[in-house]
């Protein structure tokens, strides 16, 4: 019973009540009908004076009364009983069907509410409030939902503001540190091996922190970017592959692309999405392999697939890879570079455009990322 929908529960309960009511009504009417037929038989028996006296009841099995009268009354009783039970079954079935459709209409606001809850995303909280035109039973629920949306919106706004402020504050000292380290390295080219190793490590870590700061700043400013341009994805993919070709040549990886599609969105953000996905695929692919980017239009959606030849993503981590700072293997991520924000930024951009991203397939032979974007 717990696995059934609310509509089916209401339907079955209504059908059960109708069935019990009809059975009880059928028993009462049948009892009264039988008594009435017995009264008719008694009257007919009295008129014929079968026993010479006044009979007290009608017995169809009695041999003293007319056999034809017995057959007529017995057939009438049987027909009445059969018809009453058929009517009971038909009314129960009809009542159940009627209850299903009526309950469906009554539960329509609840379905609409559930659909609205499913569509809540961090970037559309302001548009997800429920109007006051709801049944009284859902009034309190809608008010609580709207209050929750307000609190979530305030929380996400505070989080974005904090991230942006922190990134702004960190950017200047990190740039100063990088400049000072580079200046020291240029002024002391003959430094001791230990000193040179320390300076190289400092440069690497400050560069990673600067990259993290830039990514956090971009993520905090996503909501302020307009997404109303019409973008041709095929030329953008070619531009991304051209920009990443030095990295691919360095690792001995071939880049391919095919297909075309048109979507509305932000030119800057969609470029960054394709760049991050392709760069990630290049970094994790094996040498002398191929990274392919394909674009196609399907119904009202545009599908973008980025396929690599890397070690694959375990199934238990295929949703977690889009979380900020998540790494499957920290040592491997350190080898390939990155700060754990590339796919998180991609997820934010895709969600801002009303699309979805997922790991379509992954094995030890490679991974395919699938991005689905609306074409309208």
Pairwise pLDDT comparison (52 vs 78), residue with the higher score: 78
The residue-averaged pLDDT of 361-375 equals 91
Q: What percent of the chain has pLDDT over 90?
A: 17
* Least confident span in 69-73, 193-197, 326-330: 69-73
Complete DSSP assignment for 332-376: HHHHH---S-HHHHHHHHHHHTT-EEEEEEEETTEEEEEEEEE--
**pLDDT value of position 50:** 46
Residue 302 pLDDT more than 90? yes
Where do we find the tokens 């809608």? 142
Residues contacting residue 160 through CB under 8 Å, at least 6 positions apart:
219, 220, 223
Choices 1.10.287.130, 3.30.750.24, 3.30.70.1350, 1.10.10.10: CATH for 136-220:
1.10.287.130
Closest CA to 271 of 234, 308, 246, 217: 234
Pairwise pLDDT comparison (1 vs 116), residue with the higher score: 116
Contact in structure between 234 and 203 (CB atoms under 8 Å): no
Q: Say if pTM beats, i.e. exceeds, 0.75.
A: no
Please state, rounded to an integer, the average pLDDT across all residues of the chain.
77
CA separation for the pair 256, 271 (Å, rounded): 17
Residues contacting residue 206 through CB under 8 Å, at least 6 positions apart:
174, 177, 178, 181
**pLDDT value of position 295:** 94
Q: How confident is the model at residue 174 (pLDDT cuts 50, 70, 90)?
A: confident
**pLDDT value of position 45:** 59
Pairwise pLDDT comparison (370 vs 47), residue with the higher score: 370
**pLDDT value of position 55:** 46
* Least confident span in 174-183, 206-215, 278-287: 206-215
Q: What percent of the chain has pLDDT over 70?
A: 76
CA separation for the pair 161, 157 (Å, rounded): 6
The residue-averaged pLDDT of 357-371 equals 91
Residue 129 pLDDT more than 70? yes
The residue-averaged pLDDT of 137-143 equals 73
Q: What is the largest CA-CA distance in the chain?
A: 143
Contact in structure between 270 and 331 (CB atoms under 8 Å): no
Pairing of strands 301-307, 254-258: unpaired
CB-based burial of residue 332 (10 Å sphere; 0-12 exposed, 13-18 middle, 19+ buried)?
exposed
The residue-averaged pLDDT of 212-231 equals 75
Closest CA to 214 of 358, 345, 118: 345
The residue-averaged pLDDT of 319-339 equals 66
Task: List the alpha helices (DSSP H) in the chain.
Answer: 6-48, 67-106, 108-118, 136-187, 193-220, 233-250, 267-284, 330-336, 342-352
Pairwise pLDDT comparison (264 vs 327), residue with the higher score: 264
The residue-averaged pLDDT of 26-51 equals 62
CA separation for the pair 117, 124 (Å, rounded): 11
**pLDDT value of position 135:** 65
The residue-averaged pLDDT of 141-169 equals 78
The residue-averaged pLDDT of 19-29 equals 74
Is the CA virtual torsion 105, 106, 112, 115 positive or negative?
negative
* Least confident span in 129-138, 194-203, 317-326: 129-138
**pLDDT value of position 293:** 94
Pairwise pLDDT comparison (282 vs 60), residue with the higher score: 282
Opening angle at CA 125, ends 119 and 126, nearest 5: 125
**pLDDT value of position 29:** 72
**pLDDT value of position 296:** 92
CATH of domain 226-374: 3.30.565.10
Q: 374: which 2 tokens?
A: 């609306």
Residue 175 pLDDT more than 80? yes
Tell me phi and psi for residue 363, to 5 degrees. Answer: -155, -175
Tell me phi and psi for residue 244, to 5 degrees. Answer: -95, 0
Contact in structure between 128 and 151 (CB atoms under 8 Å): no
Q: How many CB atoms are located within 10 Å of the residue 351 CB? A: 17
Where do we find the tokens 């830039």? 214
Q: How many CB atoms are located within 10 Å of the residue 75 CB? A: 10
Q: How many CB atoms are located within 10 Å of the residue 271 CB? A: 17
Q: How confident is the model at residue 82 (pLDDT cuts 50, 70, 90)?
A: confident
> What is the number of alpha carbons within 13 Å of residue 211 lying toward its C-beta?
15
Q: 270: which 2 tokens?
A: 């969609």
CA separation for the pair 322, 219 (Å, rounded): 13
| Cα-Cα end-to-end distance for the chain | 42
The whole-angstrom distance between residue 303's C-alpha and the CA centroid of its chain comes to 18
């Amino acid at each position: 019973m717990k696995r059934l929908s609310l509509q089916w529960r209401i339907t079955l309960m209504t059908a059960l009540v109708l069935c019990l009511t009809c059975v009880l009504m059928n028993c009462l009417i049948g009892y009264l009908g039988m008594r009435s037929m017995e009264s008719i038989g008694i009257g007919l028996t009295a008129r014929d004076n079968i026993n010479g006296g006044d009979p007290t009841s009608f017995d169809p099995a009695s041999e003293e009364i007319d056999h034809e009268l017995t057959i007529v009354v017995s057939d009438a009783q049987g027909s009445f009983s059969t018809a009453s039970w058929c009517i009971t079954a038909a009314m129960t079935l009809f009542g159940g069907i009627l209850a299903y459709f009526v309950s469906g209409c009554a539960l329509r606001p609840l379905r609409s509410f559930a659909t609205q809850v499913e569509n809540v995303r961090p970037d559309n909280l302001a548009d997800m409030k429920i109007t006051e035109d709801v049944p009284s039973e859902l009034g309190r629920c809608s008010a609580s939902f709207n209050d929750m949306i307000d609190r979530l919106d305030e929380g996400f706004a505070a989080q974005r503001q904090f991230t942006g402020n922190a990134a702004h504050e960190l950017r200047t000292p990190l740039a100063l540190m990088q400049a000072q380290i580079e200046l020291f390295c240029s002024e002391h080219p003959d430094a001791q091996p230990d000193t040179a190793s320390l300076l190289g490590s400092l440069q690497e870590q400050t560069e990673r922190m600067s990259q993290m700061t830039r990514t956090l700043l971009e993520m905090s400013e996503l909501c302020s970017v307009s997404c109303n341009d019409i973008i041709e994805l095929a030329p953008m993919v070619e531009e991304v592959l051209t920009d990443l070709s030095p990295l691919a040549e360095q690792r001995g990886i071939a880049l391919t692309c095919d297909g075309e599609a048109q979507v509305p969105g932000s030119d800057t953000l969609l470029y960054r999405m394709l760049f991050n996905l392709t760069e990630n695929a290049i970094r994790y692919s094996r040498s002398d392999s191929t990274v392919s980017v394909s674009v196609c239009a399907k119904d009202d959606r545009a599908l973008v697939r980025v396929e690599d030849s890397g070690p694959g993503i375990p199934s238990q981590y295929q949703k977690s890879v889009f979380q900020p700072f998540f790494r499957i293997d920290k040592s491997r991520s350190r080898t390939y570079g990155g700060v754990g924000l590339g796919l998180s930024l991609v997820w934010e951009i895709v969600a801002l455009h009303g699309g979805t991203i997922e790991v379509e397939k992954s094995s030890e032979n490679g991974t395919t990322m699938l991005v689905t974007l609306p074409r309208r």
